[in-house]
Amino acid sequence: MPQPPTPIHRLGPADVARLRALNALFAEVFDDRETYAGAPPPDAWLAELLGKEHIVVLAALDGEAVIGGLVAYAFDKAERMRREIYIYDLAVAEAHRRRGVATALIAHLREIASACGAWVVFVQADPGDDPAIALYGKLGTREAVLHFDIAVGEGP
């Protein structure tokens, strides 16, 4: 029997608790507690972040429980009058995978992207993350790129 659709909500300034739950989910799924739970920002910071139009935080819910979500950022481009949206984090709780939750999250983001005039949504996947690569390959065109983290502060 098909699963009923998972409710997807765009979080706003009143949804700080849900964002905290989403960050806890990211910490677990990505096995990165230091980044997602090591120094949680105060409520005021999170509420302000959730009020910014160029930051999209979506949560997939099962009742009141956050079972998945994504954080994406909109970039206005300088070379043309257009916008791109980058999915920075996307995760689904292990018990809820293979039920269309990630696809529903991306579909909801695509609707937001269309409404705000974005021309593309893009995302990265790590080599070896076969489920993510399969999902993104189903939804978009693969590009081979290299990613570099450049430290802020002192030069090379």
pLDDT of residue 16: 98
- The full DSSP string for 47-95 is HHHHT-TTEEEEEEEETTEEEEEEEEEEEE-SSSS-EEEEEEEEEE-GG
Euclidean distance between CA atoms 63 and 125, whole angstroms:
29
pLDDT of residue 155: 62
Q: What is the DSSP letter of 153?
A: S
Closest CA to 87 of 41, 51, 130, 140: 140
pLDDT of residue 1: 43
pLDDT, tens digit only, all 156 positions of the chain: 456 568 999 999 999 999 999 999 999 999 999 999 999 999 999 999 999 999 999 999 999 999 999 999 999 999 988 899 999 999 999 999 999 999 999 999 999 999 998 999 988 877 777 777 777 777 777 777 766 666 688 765
Going along the chain from its start, the domains and CATH numbers come out as: 8-139 (3.40.630.30)
